[in-house]
Each structure stands twice: as C-alpha cells, then as structure tokens.
Chains A and B, each alone.
Chain A
C-alpha cells in the first residue's frame, strides 16, 4: 500500500506571496491532518479534515487554511507569507483514529 505523498517536496517563496501544498493520504484513510515543524516550536498542529469537513483546528492565524476533496486528498494554503512561516509542513493520514502516518513533508523557505 502506498504511503502518504506530499507535493512539492521543496518550495522557495518570498514574503507576501501565497503557497498551496498538496497531500494524498493512504488509500482508505479519510482523515488528513497538517502540522508545522520548526526547530524552535517542534511539531505544531494546524488542522484536521475528515470527510471534507474541518474537524479540528490549531492555534494558527487565518492566513493558514485548508480543504479536503471527495477523494480525501487535501491541500493547505498559506497567504501573505512571512519569514516565520519557513518550516517543514507535514501531512498525516489516518482512518479516523489516533494512529497517524506521516508523509515526507514539504520544506518551505520564505525569503
């Protein structure tokens, strides 16, 4: 069974731009969660989608948004990028329980 895939793997953007990251979950998994990982803050929960509905949301500003499609694929968008948004963005999928499986991440660098 294929694992979680994320595209792109690397991105370089400048301040003020917006970015969209994509995640394809493991087949049969309906829950997709997004996390931000930085050296100073570790892994921080962004949001979770289940059956196209946002089920949980972390403490991030409204510039961070996401959505899920009927095939469970998910995208997250960050608008008006700031230098502090530079991070590894991780997507995780699960069947809906707590056991989550992570993708390789998207490394975002904001210049």
Chain B
C-alpha cells in the first residue's frame, strides 16, 4: 500500500498549457516536499511546506499544502519544455523521527514545444 498517492502518473501537454499534480495520503505529514528529477540524476528540491493551508510560489510553480496536512498539489502555469521531468512529492510522517521521507510514485511530465 502506497502511503502517498500521486496523480497523474504520466502527463503530456503542449507548451503554454497549465497543469496540476496531486499528492494524497490518509496520513498526516509534518512537512511535505516537492522534487524534480532528470534522468540519471538525483531529485532536486523545489519546495518544502510545513504549515496546513500553506501556499508557496516559485516563478510559474504554485505549491499548496492541505489544511489537514494530508495532501498537497503542484500547479504549473504556462508550462515550458524545460519543465519536462519527473516530479516527486515526499512527506515526513508526523510520527516518524529523523529525516525519513516517504515518496509518491512520481509524475512524469512531458511538455511538447
């Protein structure tokens, strides 16, 4: 059973379109992070959200943490080919000490020019 359900798994869109990726769980997370990974490389941290209801913006990317800290979303406005990559959400479960992260399955985004 996957603790973090990420959807959609695959997304192929045209340049200029908007998209949203969802990350859902029945567990409460003390923090949630979004990463972007290129083939053959390690994930690169995009953002960390820690407060329920928190919204963070990173240029054309908007991240939201659910009020109950069980879900999160990533919205990209006017996607560009450079946004292509694997997007991963990862949460630190509230009852877990230390730096252990639980990852979603990832969303493979392809933005076509």
Contacts and interface: CB of A to CB of B under 8 A. Distances in A.
Contacts of B88: 43
A99 B43 CA distance: 12
Interface residue tally of chain A, by bracket?
A: 20 to 34
A98 B104 contact: no
Interface stretch (A70-78, A79-87, A103-111): A103-111
* Chain A facing B: main interface SS: strand
Contact of B98 (A43, A56, A101): A56
Contact of A45 (B97, B101, B106): B101
A24 interface: no
A93 B92 CA distance: 14
Interface of B: 30-31, 33, 35, 40-45, 48, 88, 90, 92, 96-106
Interface of A: 4, 31, 33, 35, 42-45, 48, 50, 55-56, 58, 88, 90, 92, 94, 96-105, 107
